[in-house]
């Protein structure tokens, strides 16, 4: 059986690393599933950059890099470029960053996008859900 590939948005990474209540619990469960090799987590290069920028301000450079090294050990990096930018520019998704993330997820054959802002992704061809929704879905099935 092929492992499910879930694309994780920046806000979910920050929920986990920042232990942001009330979202931390489900973000942590998601990353634990990746650590136990139950799922494959996909993260865009943009999310690594954005996460480092935010964490560096909160934790300092060294701790931010350490946190990213931990995430890198249990996830796959999704490279992107011209194709995803071009698709995001002509997309019906209003927010450019969300559109870019969506097309990066599509390019890398994600089965779902996990984000705290599912409403920002309209008219998509793959499921968009919160970490809580995903964890509850997986527990049911």
Q: 50 falls in which pLDDT band (50, 70, 90)? A: very high
Instruction: Quickly count: other Cβ atoms within 10 Å of residue 130's Cβ.
Output: 21
Beta strands in the chain (DSSP E): 4-8, 39-44, 75-78, 112-114, 128-129
Q: For residue 1, what pLDDT is reported?
A: 56
Give the span between the Cα atoms of 98 and 22, in whole angstroms.
22
Q: Where are the domains of the chain?
A: 4-136
Is this prediction's pTM over 0.95? no
* pLDDT at residue 9 is higher than 70: yes
Strand order in the sheet with 128-129: 75-78, 39-44, 4-8, 112-114, 128-129
Matching residue, tokens 């019906």: 92
Burial class (CB in 10 A: 0-12, 13-18, 19+), 132: middle
The 3-state DSSP class for residue 75 equals: strand
For CA atoms 77, 82, 85, 86, the dihedral sign is: negative
Q: Cβ distance 56 to 17 under 8 Å?
A: no
Residue 36, CA distances (Å) to 40, 74, 120, 130 in order: 10, 9, 30, 20
CB distance 95 to 85 below 8 Å: no
Model confidence band, residue 141 (pLDDT cutoffs 50, 70, 90): confident
CATH architecture for residues 4-136: 3-Layer(aba) Sandwich (3.40)
What confidence category does residue 140 fall into, taking pLDDT thresholds of 50, 70 and 90?
confident
């Amino acid at each position: 059986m092929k492992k499910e590939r879930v694309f994780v948005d920046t806000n979910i990474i920050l929920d986990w690393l920042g232990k942001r209540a009330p979202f931390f619990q489900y973000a942590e469960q998601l990353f634990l599933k990746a650590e136990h090799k139950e799922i494959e987590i996909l993260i865009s290069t943009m999310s690594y950059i954005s996460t480092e920028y935010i964490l560096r301000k909160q934790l300092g450079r060294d701790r931010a890099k350490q946190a990213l090294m931990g995430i890198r050990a249990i996830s796959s990096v999704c490279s992107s470029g011209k194709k995803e930018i071009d698709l995001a520019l002509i997309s019906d998704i209003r927010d450019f960053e969300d559109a870019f993330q969506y097309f990066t997820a599509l390019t890398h054959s994600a089965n779902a996008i996990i984000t705290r802002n599912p409403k920002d992704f309209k008219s998509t061809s793959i499921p968009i859900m919160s970490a809580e929704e995903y964890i509850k879905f997986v527990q049911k099935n």
